[in-house]
Copies of this chain bind each other. A is one copy, B any other.
């Protein structure tokens, strides 16, 4: 087969192969649309030419401080231009970007900065003292062998000038001054190898110990394009930053927007009013939002809304299936909601409930039921399935048989940093194991039934807490709900519902409300699914708005085993 080999005897060379990296997108945007607005924040606005120069300055300034290949640069900031710029400037220096959740407490931040060996910490002026506290903890833990990171403070005209002054007094370098150290014409280099790490992000989430998710240039490139393709996002999109960029690199959209030469509208504080006003003011066409944000849009008071919308606004949501009532209300207002699913480990959403034109004519409840599913794989992900946890074989596409959702392909993380045991588990058998339980419907769309650990096992029967929640969301008094297992003398476990009521609901007789809710459930689900306990109060949430089921599970345990139907008043303690 001498001839046969010929066809492949053409090696890679400098002209036909280069590492995939989203950094080229920025260079292209600055070449094609130098004068177009790249990033807007309050009264500040940058063009692509400026953003490219600023990112090159950042990379150059970092290199001058010997920060480069192998270094980690942490940033603790809300959605301000600096965190957008860091998505390019840090990897252009060859370093890895670690975006830190601004809502974590000092000990956790100390853990992250230590674990990632952050050489530089960029911090928003409002959060400076938190970072300082974290660094103090870190120093104490590493007495003697501690080399403090370079501290950079990001000023913001909309914040209290005292914070900035305080930070500067503590020796922090001002962000704009730092950039000025760098060369705006800096000749950055793409990575030698596209497998090189571009970002590191810690899972916040529902379990105790944060794990460092490491992403590659290759994966970030592919996910950036895939995120545009599945959402039908075109050149020049105007994107509103409601989703924190520190949350899984804003699902890679900082890079997507450069690929599309689009415009980023920053938001420090996410409110329904700010969203409506950005739509009207900047012509926002896209934003991503957790279900809790959709909730606030739907329930916004009339003076905070600008309706009808001047144009269709695309909203991508992930994290939990939005309840039908929310989906319907959003759609009536002119928002088009795309429901996706993913994890930090998959560069953010990597499955999408791809809308079918044939659904357009279905009744709203059916539409919402179909759209609440997790759907199909992104274009950039190669493999998605639901497998039997015992046999490891795909479950039948019957919409009933529960298995674990597994994924594989180029939009799966490189692994957890310094955690071989977790890597071994999560990558077992050639899949990424999501830890989520779901079914595959006859139309090939998958649907989450629960996190493995959120399944309630009552009298040997599995109850999906999610399914119970879905029914509870249909109750007119329920604003938010979370269902967990509570110990049960007779059934080992039984469902316990933690409920936040809508503002307008008369809360004077909670017994009556609880009984009404249970009656509502009895009409709509098998008897053993019906919550035996209902608890009213606000729900504990992570920094990114996820309900902390482990807190509720602990609370349910504390309440002791169920003996008979009873109600317990429970108030959530939040700092």
Contacts and interface: CB of A to CB of B under 8 A. Distances in A.
A379 B225 contact: yes
A233 to B, nearest CB: 9
A409 interface: yes
B430 A14 contact: yes
Interface in A410-444: 410, 412-415, 417-418, 423, 427, 430-432, 444
A7 B96 contact: yes
Given A10-B214, A32-B376, A259-B229, A24 B234 contact: no
Contacts of A232: 234-235
Contacts of A225: 225-226, 229, 379
Given A7-B197, A423-B10, A415 B72 contact: no
Contacts of A10: 197, 214, 414-415, 417, 423
Contact of A17 (B260, B410, B417): B410
A433 to B, nearest CB: 9
B412 A7 contact: no
A18 interface: yes
B379 A432 contact: no
A16 interface: yes
A7 B119 CA distance: 13
Interface in A55-75: 69-72
A288 interface: no
Interface string A394-417: 000000000000011110111101
A25 B378 CA distance: 10
Given A232-B234, A260-B229, A415-B16, A8 B377 contact: no
Contacts of A235: 229-230, 232, 354
Interface string A196-226: 1100100000000000001000010010011
A197 B8 contact: yes
A234 B236 contact: no
Contact of A410 (B20, B70, B229, B376): B20
Interface string A511-539: 00000000000000000000000000000
Interface string A139-165: 000000000000000000000000000
A16 B414 contact: yes
Interface in A1-17: 1, 3-8, 10, 12-17
A195 interface: yes
A117 interface: yes
Given A16-B408, A354-B32, A7 B214 contact: yes
B427 A15 contact: yes
Contact of A4 (B31, B71, B407): B71
Nearest to A196: B8
A365 interface: no
B379 A7 contact: no
A355 B232 CA distance: 19
Contact of A430 (B13, B96, B229, B414): B13
A315 B9 CA distance: 37
A96 B5 CA distance: 12
Nearest to A70: B4
Nearest to A384: B31
A319 to B, nearest CB: 22
A28 interface: yes
B4 A117 contact: yes
A225 to B, nearest CB: 5
A228 interface: yes
Given A16-B408, A408-B18, A444-B31, A7 B260 contact: no
A16 B354 contact: no
B228 A24 contact: no
Contacts of A377: 28, 31
Contacts of A234: 232, 234
Contacts of A3: 70, 117
A333 interface: no
A6 B409 contact: no
A356 interface: yes
A382 interface: yes
A363 interface: no
Nearest to A234: B232
Interface string A42-59: 000000000000000000
12 contacts: A5-B70, A6-B417, A7-B72, A7-B417, A8-B197, A14-B408, A15-B427, A16-B410, A16-B414, A16-B415, A31-B444, A34-B444
Top 4 closest pairs, chain A to chain B, by CB: A4-B70, A14-B430, A10-B415, A10-B414
Given A8-B70, A8-B196, A229-B229, 19 more contacts: A3-B117, A7-B417, A8-B195, A10-B214, A10-B415, A10-B417, A15-B412, A16-B219, A16-B410, A16-B427, A17-B410, A24-B382, A32-B376, A32-B444, A33-B354, A228-B229, A229-B260, A230-B235, A259-B379
